Amino acid sequence: MNKQLLAAAVATAMLSPVAALADTSVQVYGRAHVTVDWLDDGADDGLNTSSNSSRLGFRANHDLGNNLRAMVQIEQNIRFENGAGNFATRDSFVGLQGDFGMVRLGQFDTPLKIVRGRTDFFGDQIGDARNLTRLRDGYSGSDFDFDTRFRNGIHYRSPTLGGGLVFDLHYSTNTNAGTTVDNDNDALSTSVTYRDGGLYLAAAYERKNESKSDAIRLGARYSFGDFDVAALAQFATIKGSTLGPDQDVNTFGIGGSYKVNAKTTVKAQFYMLDADGDERDANMIAVGLDYRIASPFRLLFAYARTNNDDNATYSMSRGGRDTQLATAAPGLNHSGLSIGFRYGF
């Protein structure tokens, strides 16, 4: 009898995890995006291999009953060109979702950053819109980065309201690593988005409390037939810069793509930056072609160029890329040609 009881106990212990996983969905996913680039910083040029925000991630969610679902994600950057990477460097969080909406805790993209991602036709390529929207290069300092992930994030997303309206509120208790007792480095990012068929509209606001710098970002995208068009406007105020107490920097962009056939898509976008101060404006143009060999595998071709005024220091090959040109010397123009593979799974 004791042996039978022991066997039953062992079997129960072994089967309990299986039963627990019955309502759990687990996914391994990733992207390999590697290109060969000819980059010119206005003074010199050379050939490079770049891994462009390649990633490996793990997702899981579990049905808790009563329309509640627990979820977790761990995602990290993979450096294919250098054979390196760090764990949980990208969107990583734990959260709960239900009829009330969604709550997440961790490190992940802000609502402001997401608006740029959904209107950018060259994300993680040369010509990425972040080259002129994040402003980190032009004003040097992480507190001026308006396309980032918040560390120590607390995020609430509403359920869909009014047939397509969603509200996001994202707060960071401390944008630096480590603990704090004063919340001097906290930050807030929020957005309202609307979707209806092929239409996407968004308005977002973000404030970095260390410097009091803030930005408003408006985005729109519309898909119709084989065409896709998008526009973005950003109105940022940089405070605490060595260039002056308050620097207004406005960035505007427009782009589009056309699906030539089932495998080929051509695309282009143009961004311009208007900044306070003498000769601090810049513009960037990008043109490209995506060739889809099969659903997960693409060949990518792109050309991009950034033109700087005499005191502007922007590039076209920093946003979303692991191999980056250094911050531009004032007044030099950057250009590049990129050819590569992108495989998602």
The pLDDT assigned to 87 comes to 86
Phi and psi for 301 in degrees, rounded to 5? Answer: -125, 135
pTM of the model: 0.90
Q: Which of 67-71, 150-154, 181-185, 270-274 has the lowest mean pLDDT?
A: 181-185
Torsion angle (degrees, nearest 10) of CA 187, 54, 123, 240? 30
The pLDDT assigned to 256 comes to 98
The pLDDT assigned to 243 comes to 74
The Cα–Cα gap between 192 and 167 comes to 5
The pLDDT assigned to 157 comes to 98
Secondary structure (DSSP) of 188-203:
EEEEEEEEETTEEEEE
**CATH of 25-344 given 2.40.160.10, 3.20.20.80, 1.10.940.10, 1.20.1250.20:** 2.40.160.10
Indicate whether 36 pLDDT > 80.
Answer: yes
The Cα–Cα gap between 14 and 200 comes to 48
> In the predicted model, what is the mean pLDDT of residues 218-247?
92
The Cα–Cα gap between 316 and 311 comes to 16
> In the predicted model, what is the mean pLDDT of residues 265-278?
96
Q: How many percent of the chain have pLDDT more than 90?
A: 74
Please state, rounded to an integer, the average pLDDT across all residues of the chain. Answer: 90
Indicate whether 116 pLDDT > 80.
Answer: yes
The pLDDT assigned to 14 comes to 47
The pLDDT assigned to 324 comes to 82
- Reported as a pLDDT band with limits 50, 70 and 90, residue 209 is confident
Q: Which amino acid is located at 1 in the chain?
A: M
Cα-Cα end-to-end distance for the chain:
51
- Reported as a pLDDT band with limits 50, 70 and 90, residue 142 is low
Q: Are 119 and 130 in contact (CB under 8 A)?
A: no
**Burial classification of residue 116, based on how many CB atoms lie within 10 Å of its CB (0-12 exposed, 13-18 middle, 19 or more buried):** buried
Q: Are 119 and 220 in contact (CB under 8 A)?
A: yes
Indicate whether 10 pLDDT > 60.
Answer: no
The pLDDT assigned to 236 comes to 96
> In the predicted model, what is the mean pLDDT of residues 176-186?
87
> In the predicted model, what is the mean pLDDT of residues 155-163?
94
Q: Are 120 and 97 in contact (CB under 8 A)?
A: no
The pLDDT assigned to 22 comes to 56
- Reported as a pLDDT band with limits 50, 70 and 90, residue 176 is confident
The Cα–Cα gap between 267 and 76 comes to 28
The pLDDT assigned to 51 comes to 94
